[in-house]
């Protein structure tokens, strides 16, 4: 059962906060304030950029109201104490009543939720859980309810983005934003909540993001992960975000490329995502491994041909697909002692990204 | 009384009546809201309690009226464990001690199985049925089951040391593991039903567990499980044996343990080097 905030056990932070004034100024400029997560992931440039871009991405087809609901449900399903607490507090500040939030959390079929909202919540829960991963029929069901194809794509992207962000904050055990939560439930937050519904009416639908359509350069048509970018074409900014993140993650020198590709393959196999497994195969074969080695490593979650720390990473990344926060945080702490905080942050980023991409790949099926 | 005064009085009266009706409706709505919240909280508590009797994923799907819980076929790995000589031990022990020993044993074994992505679905007497890959797809189900069984072996050794320290008799178990298709889902009738699995795979796992007594070993797997394992496990082939309900003798392998890890030339992640 999806937990409520008080049920989510959360351990002490696994990586320390790092002071980087230039980065913090950049976060403040783009997001308004510097959340705790950004201080802890600061040492890995591609990861911090990915998280900040997800956090500040703008909607094209869905209403802000649905985004608020999706963010909260996704973080609840991912049992992310940090994001769930922040998303819930944000909803309070935006004027949602406690009983409305409670009913979304408890999945109570309620008259306040219309058919489309209920369908979105159910789709969101199903995609996060991916047991099994929803596919064509679930997308069709949303379209029958009146959502456009681009809106469904955007919905899947928002959920996948949530899965990425939630994993990053869960795997580093980021301390919750208690100050913001206290503000949201205090008198000032309640006052803000009284005027926010009016603002919501005017800001219900955000204008399309002014990002040029990102067509793949001819030489990249067969590049890794290109097929997923094709289905994301109604969302040019999402294409840019994901393509940049995947390229930068694979190019980063903190962990070998083959290790990261194998990690994507393990997540893909766990979620029965053929797309991710194929991409992992093409990325890792050649880096000291044959295709047969890659297949054997995925089948056994390790191989004598891999370094011990690579074997540890494959076992660990499998458990980032479905987890209990306390248990995965314990495993992550053990891994940190083996590979160090810098490599760990990259591993966390790759695990999160792989989980997001594998869920998003439902758009291909 | 002038017409305007009469009109004013009527208007005031109407406003008062409307206000009273609105206040009444509001009170009624609040009562219903409280009732709904209370019912939801009770349902949630019931769901949490029910999760002690059936896997949590099953309980959740049941509460959502999810038709995916209807019986369907799936490939699973079945682990069947049974205590050997426990019935005789019960005759010599105080029933309270027996229950204490058994509960401690189940706790250790369940923890080991859960650590390896398995789920205990049945406790019958001193026997235990665990499934790997029944409630969520698990491409590593066979190796999970064998690693889980090896973890159970270690847990039993640790638990026996605890029992010895309290001058209580030690336990011995037999574990049989088999892989194949089962039908899993909610079974029963309108008065009594439960989440269960049926199929020949379950029977074979149970028979294989029985063979541990014949071969005098603690952990046996079938050819189907062996085929899904990589070469890090130390296995010893056992003579094929006929078992009840099978026309052909069954080949089994004793899982002795894990081979020492082959450590390649050590390199570190770039971040460490």
Q: Chain B residue closest to A344 (CA)? A: B271
Q: Which residues of A touch B264 (CB under 8 A)?
A: 304-308
Give the DSSP letter string of A321-349: SS--HHHHHHHHHHHHHHH-HHHHHHHHH
What's the pLDDT tens digit per position in B156-177? Answer: 999 999 999 999 999 999 999 9
Q: Within this chain, do residues A57 and A166 fall inside the same structural domain, yes or no?
A: yes
The runs of H, that is alpha helices, within chain A are 21-31, 36-40, 45-56, 64-77, 81-93, 98-106, 115-129, 136-144, 149-171, 178-185, 187-202, 226-231, 236-251, 257-270, 274-284, 291-300, 308-318, 325-339, 341-360
Q: Within this chain, do residues A23 and A66 fall inside the same structural domain, yes or no?
A: yes
B270 and A269 in contact by Cβ < 8 A? no
Q: Within this chain, do residues A25 and A96 fall inside the same structural domain, yes or no?
A: yes
**pLDDT tens, position by position, for chain A (365 residues)?**
456 666 789 999 999 999 999 999 999 999 999 999 999 999 999 999 999 999 998 888 998 889 999 999 999 999 999 999 999 999 999 988 888 888 888 765 555 678 888 899 999 999 999 988 898 899 999 999 999 999 999 999 999 999 999 999 999 999 999 999 999 888 888 888 887 777 666 655 444 444 444 455 555 556 678 889 999 999 999 999 999 999 999 999 999 999 999 999 999 999 999 999 999 998 887 777 888 999 999 999 999 999 999 999 999 999 999 999 999 999 999 999 999 999 999 999 999 999 999 999 999 98
Distance CA A107, CA A113 (A): 10
Give which of A5, A47, A106 to mutate to test B binding, by max B Cβ within 10 Å: A106
Helix, strand, or coil (residue A358): helix
Domain membership of residue A207 (yes or no) is: no
To the nearest whole angstrom, how far is the Cα of A208 from the nearest Cα of chain B? 36
To the nearest whole angstrom, how far is the Cα of A206 from the nearest Cα of chain B? 33
Q: Within this chain, do residues A228 and A142 fall inside the same structural domain, yes or no?
A: no
Q: Within this chain, do residues A261 and A351 fall inside the same structural domain, yes or no?
A: yes
pLDDT at B57: 65
Instruction: Give the tokens for residue A303.
Output: 């191989």
Burial of B12 by CB count in 10 Å (0-12 exposed, 13-18 middle, 19+ buried)? exposed
Distance CA A341, CA A41 (A): 10
Q: Residue A359 sits in a domain of what CATH number? A: 1.20.1290
Total domain count for chain A? 2
Q: Which residues contact B267 (CB under 8 A, 6 or more apart)?
A: A307, B273
Q: Which residues contact B103 (CB under 8 A, 6 or more apart)?
A: none
Q: Which residues of B touch A304 (CB under 8 A)?
A: 232, 261-262, 264
Domain membership of residue A114 (yes or no) is: yes
Domain membership of residue A321 (yes or no) is: yes
Closest CA to A332 of A170, A175, A177: A170
Helix, strand, or coil (residue B81): strand
Confidence of residue B92 (pLDDT cuts 50, 70, 90): confident
B264 and A108 in contact by Cβ < 8 A? no
Q: Does B48 touch chain A (CB under 8 A)?
A: yes
B117: left (phi over 0), alpha (psi -120 to 50) or beta: left
Closest CA to A23 of A8, A12, A38, A35: A38
Q: Which residues of B touch A103 (CB under 8 A)?
A: 40
Distance CA A338, CA A320 (A): 18
Q: Which contiguous run of DSSP H or E holds residue B22?
A: helix B3-50
pTM (predicted TM-score): 0.85
CA dihedral B212, B217, B220, B223 (to 10 degrees): -100
The alpha carbon of B103 is separated from its chain's Cα centroid by a whole number of angstroms, namely: 16
Distance CA A356, CA A330 (A): 22
Count A/B contacts: CB-CB distance under 8 Å.
Answer: 79
Which residues of A lie inside 8 Å of B (Cβ-Cβ)? 1, 99, 102-103, 106-108, 110, 131-132, 253-256, 259, 269-270, 272, 296, 299-301, 304-309, 318, 322, 339-340, 342-343, 346
Give the DSSP letter string of B123-149: EETTEEEEEESSSS--TTHHHHHHHHH
B40 and A340 in contact by Cβ < 8 A? no
B261 and A296 in contact by Cβ < 8 A? no
DSSP at B174: E
Distance CA B193, CA B105 (A): 27
- Domain containing A319: what range? 218-364
Q: Chain B residue closest to A342 (CA)? A: B271
Rounded to 5 degrees, φ, ψ at A210 are -85, 70
pLDDT at B7: 87
Domain boundary among A158, A178, A202: A202
Domains of chain B by start residue, with CATH: 69-258 (3.30.70.1230)
Distance CA B85, CA A333 (A): 42
Q: Within this chain, do residues A243 and A341 fall inside the same structural domain, yes or no?
A: yes
To the nearest whole angstrom, how far is the Cα of B85 from the nearest Cα of chain A? 35
Domain boundary among A202, A229, A253: A202
pLDDT at A209: 46
pLDDT at A193: 81
Q: Residue A58 sits in a domain of what CATH number? A: 1.20.1290.10
ipTM value, please give it: 0.83
Q: Which residues of B touch A108 (CB under 8 A)?
A: 36, 40
The runs of H, that is alpha helices, within A108-186 are 115-129, 136-144, 149-171, 178-185
Q: Does B271 touch chain A (CB under 8 A)?
A: yes
Domain membership of residue A164 (yes or no) is: yes
Instruction: Give the tokens for residue A310.
Output: 């690579």
Q: Does B75 touch chain A (CB under 8 A)?
A: no
Helix, strand, or coil (residue A68): helix
Q: Does B122 touch chain A (CB under 8 A)?
A: no
Helix, strand, or coil (residue A100): helix
Q: Within this chain, do residues A193 and A246 fall inside the same structural domain, yes or no?
A: no
Q: Within this chain, do residues A80 and A104 fall inside the same structural domain, yes or no?
A: yes
Domain membership of residue A307 (yes or no) is: yes
To the nearest whole angstrom, how far is the Cα of A205 from the nearest Cα of chain B? 30
What's the pLDDT tens digit per position in B198-250? Answer: 899 999 999 999 999 999 999 999 999 999 999 899 999 999 999 888 888 99
pLDDT at A200: 65
Distance CA B170, CA B187 (A): 37
Domain boundary among A156, A173, A202: A202
Distance CA A212, CA A214 (A): 6
What's the pLDDT tens digit per position in B138-154? Answer: 999 999 999 999 999 99
Q: Within this chain, do residues A155 and A18 fall inside the same structural domain, yes or no?
A: yes
Distance CA A351, CA B182 (A): 32
To the nearest whole angstrom, how far is the Cα of B56 from the nearest Cα of chain A? 7
Higher pLDDT residue, B264 or A52? A52
Q: Within this chain, do residues A238 and A272 fall inside the same structural domain, yes or no?
A: yes
pLDDT at A331: 96
Among partner residues B44, B135, B264, which is closest to A304 by beta-carbon distance?
B264
Domain membership of residue A210 (yes or no) is: no
Mark A176-209 as b/e (b = at least 16 C-beta within 10 Å). Answer: bbeebbebbbeeebeebbeebeeebeeeeeeeee
**Contact between residue A234 and residue A59 where contact means Cβ atoms under 8 Å apart:** no
A108 and B36 in contact by Cβ < 8 A? yes
Instruction: Give the tokens for residue A90.
Output: 């944000």
Q: Within this chain, do residues A74 and A163 fall inside the same structural domain, yes or no?
A: yes
Q: Within this chain, do residues A226 and A148 fall inside the same structural domain, yes or no?
A: no
The alpha carbon of A151 is separated from its chain's Cα centroid by a whole number of angstroms, namely: 18
**Contact between residue B227 and residue B211 where contact means Cβ atoms under 8 Å apart:** no
- With a pLDDT cut of 70, the percent of chain B lying above it is 85
Domain membership of residue A222 (yes or no) is: yes
Q: Which contiguous run of DSSP H or E holds residue B221?
A: strand B219-222
Domain membership of residue A94 (yes or no) is: yes
Q: Which residues contact B176 (CB under 8 A, 6 or more apart)?
A: B79, B80, B81, B205, B206, B207, B208, B209, B210, B211, B212, B220, B221
């Amino acid at each position: 059962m999806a937990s409520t905030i008080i049920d989510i056990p959360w351990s002490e932070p696994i990586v320390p906060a790092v002071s980087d004034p230039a980065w913090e100024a950049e976060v403040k400029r783009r997001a308004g304030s510097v959340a705790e997560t950004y201080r802890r992931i600061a040492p890995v440039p591609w990861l911090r950029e990915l998280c900040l871009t997800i956090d500040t991405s703008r909607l094209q087809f869905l209403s802000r109201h649905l985004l608020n609901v999706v963010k909260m449900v996704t973080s609840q399903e991912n049992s992310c104490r940090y994001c769930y607490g922040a998303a819930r507090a944000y909803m309070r500040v935006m004027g949602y009543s406690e009983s409305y939030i409670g009913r979304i959390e408890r999945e109570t079929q309620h008259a306040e939720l219309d058919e489309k909202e209920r369908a979105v919540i159910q789709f969101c829960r199903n995609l996060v859980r991916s047991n099994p991963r929803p596919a064509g029929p679930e997308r069709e069901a949303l379209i029958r309810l009146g959502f456009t194809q681009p809106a469904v794509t955007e919905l899947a992207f928002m959920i996948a983005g949530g899965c990425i962000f939630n994993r990053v904050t869960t795997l580093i055990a980021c301390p919750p934003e208690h100050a913001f939560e206290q503000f949201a439930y205090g008198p000032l937050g309640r006052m803000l909540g009284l005027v926010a519904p009016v603002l919501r009416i005017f800001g219900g639908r955000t204008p399309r993001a002014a990002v040029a359509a990102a067509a793949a350069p001819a030489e990249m048509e067969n590049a890794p992960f290109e097929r997923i970018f094709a289905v994301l074409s109604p969302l040019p900014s999402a294409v840019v975000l994901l393509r940049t993140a995947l390229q930068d993650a694979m190019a980063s020198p903190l962990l070998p490329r083959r290790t990261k590709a194998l990690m994507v393959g393990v997540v893909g196999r766990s979620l029965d995502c053929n797309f991710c497994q194929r991409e992992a195969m093409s990325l890792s074969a050649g880096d000291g491994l044959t295709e047969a080695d890659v297949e054997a490593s995925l089948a056994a979650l390790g191989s004598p041909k891999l370094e011990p720390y690579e074997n540890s990473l494959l076992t660990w990344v499998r458990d980032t697909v479905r987890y209990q926060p306390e248990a995965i945080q314990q495993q992550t702490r053990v891994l940190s002692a083996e590979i160090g905080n810098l490599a760990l942050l990259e591993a966390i980023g790759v695990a999160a990204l792989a989980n997001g991409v594998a869920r998003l790949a439902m758009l291909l099926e | 009384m002038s017409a305007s005064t009469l009109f004013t009085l009527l208007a005031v009266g109407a406003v008062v009546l409307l206000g009273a009706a609105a206040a009444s409706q509001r009170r009624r709505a609040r009562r219903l809201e409280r009732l709904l919240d209370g019912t939801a909280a009770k349902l949630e508590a019931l769901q949490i309690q029910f999760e002690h009797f059936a896997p949590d994923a099953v309980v959740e799907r049941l509460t959502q009226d999810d038709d995916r819980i209807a019986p369907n076929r799936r490939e699973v790995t079945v682990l069947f464990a049974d205590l050997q000589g426990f019935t005789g031990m019960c005759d010599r022990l105080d029933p309270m001690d027996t229950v204490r020993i058994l509960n401690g044993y189940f706790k250790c074994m369940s923890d080991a199985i859960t650590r390896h992505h398995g789920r205990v679905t049945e406790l019958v007497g001193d026997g235990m049925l665990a499934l790997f890959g029944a409630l969520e797809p698990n491409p590593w189900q066979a190796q999970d089951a064998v690693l889980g069984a090896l973890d159970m072996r270690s847990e039993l050794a640790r638990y026996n040391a605890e029992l010895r320290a309290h001058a209580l008799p030690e336990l011995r178990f037999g574990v049989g593991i088999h892989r194949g298709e089962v039908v899993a889902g909610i079974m029963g009738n309108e008065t009594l039903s439960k989440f269960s699995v049926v199929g020949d795979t379950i029977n074979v796992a149970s028979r294989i567990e029985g063979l541990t007594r014949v071969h005098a070993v603690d952990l046996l797997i079938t050819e189907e499980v062996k085929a899904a394992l990589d070469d890090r496990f130390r296995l010893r082939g056992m003579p094929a044996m006929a078992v009840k309900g099978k026309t052909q003798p069954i080949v089994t392998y004793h899982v002795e343990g894990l081979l020492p890890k082959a450590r390649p030339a050590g390199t570190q992640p770039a971040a460490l080097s």
